[in-house]
Structure 1
Amino acid sequence: MLAPPPHGEGMAGDRAIQQTLDTAWPADLDSVDERQLLTAGRALLRADATGVGRDRWPAYFGAAGQEVAPPAFAPARFRIQAVLARRDGAPDRAVVHLVWAGTDRGGTHADGRITDLHFTRTTPAKEGKPAWIPQRHT
């Protein structure tokens, strides 16, 4: 198993983080579901952290005009280092595990941050509608 890179390695360490995740947590989803979940997980985390794209997830963030926590990260100061999607105890549930880095608006930088986003499968995708819906965990 690969050892994760030291904190502060920057983008040079992202590949090692991805390889470590892939080795530690073998794939268990079909490729279509995995692609959908990886895309949705990246977009949802980016929307949460930066505010960009929150309108795409009204059920998750609330309708326009509702009080929502302001984004903590500027889009240019946020990056996803590694991501994978796996089943979450049942065929209709999945978790997207993301490792990411960012510099918050106060100037504090951290890499190796971890976020797990949980999704539930809906009916199969039709006309571009997602087959996986994010679930808020409190």
Structure 2
Amino acid sequence: MLPPRGEGAAGDWAIQQALETAWPTDLSASDERWLLAAGRALLRADAAGVGRGQWPEVFPGSGRGLAPAFSAARFRVQAAIARRDGRPDRAVVHLVWAGTDRGGTYSDGRITDLYFTRTASTKGASSWVPQPRT
């Protein structure tokens, strides 16, 4: 059972448990950890403008004063999971988050899916690359 909207951080655990129950893990622990950290950072950069320089391929020209849509101080990820997206070289990070927009309206239970593709380097190492949002 999910907590009621507006429950605040007290309800985040229940949301996390619901996500994990609905979508059993199918990635290695290291891939899942990396994708979760990257997904949280990418969402924070997108929504609150924090750390956009870390993602130049996603936010080209981010130094041009693009105002964030949400307050960094009133932004939090409530729950997140990373799972395969149909193929071993594709993954999706599913995030549930809360934030206050520039107009001062707070809302929780917002949902964002971020997609990543695994790429191989010439040295045999692989990395996950965020895909453009469509």
| TM score, norm. by length of structure 1 | 0.89
| Aligned amino acid, residue 89 of structure 1 | G
| Aligned amino acid, residue 96 of structure 1 | V
For the residue of structure 1 that corresponds to 2:44, the secondary structure is helix
For residue 97 of structure 1, the aligned residue among 83, 94, 99 is 94
For residue 132 of structure 1, the aligned residue among 122, 128, 132 is 128
- 2: CA distance, partners of 1:4 / 1:36: 27
Q: Post-superposition, which runs of at least 4 consecutive aligned residues in structure 1 deviate over 6 A?
A: none
Please tell me whether residue 82 in structure 1 is matched to residue 74 in structure 2. Answer: no
- 1: CA distance, partners of 2:66 / 2:114: 18
Paired position in structure 2 for 1:70: 67
Between the two proteins, the alignment pairs up a number of residues equal to 132
Change (3 A) 1:130 1:46: farther
Q: Percent identity?
A: 68
Please tell me whether residue 118 in structure 1 is matched to residue 88 in structure 2. Answer: no
Contact 2:52 2:62 survives alignment (8 Å): no
- 1: CA distance, partners of 2:126 / 2:43: 16
Change (3 A) 1:43 1:130: farther
Gaps of 5+ in 1: none
| Aligned amino acid, residue 50 of structure 2 | V
For the residue of structure 1 that corresponds to 2:68, the secondary structure is coil
Residue 70 (structure 1) shift: 2.3
Residue 123 (structure 1) shift: 2.1
Q: Tell me how large the CA RMSD over aligned residues is.
A: 1.9
